[in-house]
Amino acid sequence: MSSPQRPVAPHSYGSQRPPAAVPIGPVGAIGVDEMQLTDEEVARRMSWLEITADDIANLTSIRDVARGYAAEVIEDLYRHFLAFDETRAFFRDEQTLRRVKAMQTEYFLRLTEGNYDREYVRDRLKIGAIHQRIGLDVKWYLGAYNFYLRAVGSRLMRAFQDDPERGRACYFSLKKLVFFDIGLAIEIYLTTIRRQEEAIRELSTPVLQLRAGLLILPIIGVIDPTRARQLTEQLLRSIRANRAKVVVMDITGVPSVDSRVANHLVQTVEAARLMGATVIITGLSAEVAQALVLVGIDLNRIRTVGDLQGGIEEAERSLGYRVSRVEA
């Protein structure tokens, strides 16, 4: 029976201590440079995966075995890639295929080199960024790791056929580190998705200045609590930056409002009022109006006008402008 495994201390990633934070240099316009993984975060991830000093010893002990099976595993992996139209499209010529195979070989061999330090984490994040940037879907990325682990597992069992328990221990150690790598790469994908969602929300709730002191906020689509909070923050920033006195919030394009969102809209109106701006809501549909009544919203706290044009006219009157028809 093996002895109890020792947790890896925050300062013991192999034989080299990582810096206080892992600085990620610019790798592409997908936010990799914004990721700062501290010693504590890396140690927490390793602890969660139960990567111990014994695991690191197991990994470095199979370095020569890994070099022996690396070329064969890579050939099998890319034969699998080329068998599917979606993944074959990434390798348009033989030169590209050779280059990627060489890079992938080094990537997998690095798993058994020890020193899982600053450069190790940075390289894993960089590789995840490259995969995301070229459009490799997560399902293909995870599928490749599945193929790799199965291919390596069978070879380790053969290499340690005289000591199968040792072979299993080395395989489990390798599997832990592979999942550590997967976590880093998925972080890149999730960071990109979050940034894209933020950009979409920014585009879907533009705050426009119609004239000095007057802002227009046209809202289109479903408002969920997250978007409602983002809308409020963006509006309050715009009120402050433009020294606005009146805001016309047009919700003609909002199909429905639940109780949480309705209350958030009221809070937005109140927050704007505290900043010295009056909010006029336009475009209330019959369904939204009924929903506001049913959830008990105090409509006396909300200033409403039927449509956007009427709201702008009301806002201009509030600012002291006189709206009159010019005869042709």
CATH no. for residue 254? Answer: 3.30.750.24
Helix or strand or coil: residue 21? strand
Within a domain: 323: no
Residues 165 and 36 in one domain: yes
Final residue of a domain: which of 181, 201, 221? 201
Q: Residues 17-49: pLDDT tens digits?
A: 333 333 333 333 344 445 667 778 888 999 999
Q: Please answer whether residues 131 and 185 qualify as being in contact, where contact means their C-beta atoms are separated by less than 8 angstroms.
A: yes
Within a domain: 324: no
Parent domain of 242 = 208-318
Residues 220 and 168 in one domain: no
Residues 215 and 94 in one domain: no
- Span of 30-39, 119-128, 211-220, 292-301 with lowest mean pLDDT: 30-39
Within a domain: 192: yes
pLDDT for 204? 60
Residues 171 and 235 in one domain: no
pLDDT for 328? 60
Within a domain: 312: yes
Residues 150 and 272 in one domain: no
Residues 76 and 40 in one domain: yes
Residues 214 and 185 in one domain: no
Residues 133 and 170 in one domain: yes
Within a domain: 10: no
CATH no. for residue 33? Answer: 1.10.490.10
Within a domain: 293: yes
Within a domain: 154: yes
Q: Residues 107-166: pLDDT tens digits?
A: 899 999 998 887 788 888 887 777 767 778 888 889 999 999 999 999 999 999 999 999
Residues 187 and 54 in one domain: yes
pLDDT for 48? 94
In terms of pLDDT, which residue wins out, 4 or 101? Answer: 101
At position 305, the amino acid (one-letter code) is V
Q: Residues 185-200: pLDDT tens digits?
A: 888 777 777 776 666 6
Task: List the one residue out of 278, 216, 281 whose CA is nearest residue 289.
Answer: 281
Distances from the Cα of 215 to the Cαs of 212, 246, 273, 279, in angstroms? 8, 6, 14, 9
pTM: 0.59
Q: Please answer whether residues 319 and 245 qualify as being in contact, where contact means their C-beta atoms are separated by less than 8 angstroms.
A: yes
Please, which residues have CB within 8 angstroms of residue 241's CB and are 6 or more apart in sequence?
A: none
Residues 151 and 237 in one domain: no
Q: Is the dihedral of CA 86, 91, 97, 101 positive or negative?
A: negative
Final residue of a domain: which of 201, 225, 249? 201
| Number of domains composing the chain | 2
73/138 Cα distance (integer angstroms): 21
Residues 82 and 161 in one domain: yes
Within a domain: 15: no
In terms of pLDDT, which residue wins out, 288 or 178? Answer: 178
Instruction: Report the chain's terminal Cα–Cα distance, integer Å.
Output: 98
Residue 16 gets which letter from DSSP? B
Mean pLDDT of the chain: 82
Residues 185 and 215 in one domain: no
Task: Write b or e for each residue in 306-320: b if 16 or more Cβ atoms lie within 10 A of its Cβ, otherwise e.
Answer: eebeebbebbbeeee
Phi, psi of 89 (to 5 degrees): -65, -20
Final residue of a domain: which of 201, 218, 252? 201
